[in-house]
Amino acid sequence: MALATKWRVVKMSVSVTVGFLACWTPYFVVSLVRIYSDYAYTLSTALAVSELLALSHSALNPVLYIIFSTRTIRLALMQLRQRAVTCCCRRRRRESLELA
User: Can you give the pLDDT of all 100 residues of the chain as single tens digits?
Assistant: 678 778 888 888 899 999 999 999 999 999 999 999 988 888 889 999 999 999 999 999 888 888 887 777 778 888 888 877 776 666 666 666 666 5
- Region for 41 from its dihedrals, namely left if φ exceeds 0, alpha if ψ lies in -120 to 50, beta otherwise: beta
- CA of 97: how far to CAs of 85, 90, 92, 94, in Å? 18, 11, 9, 5
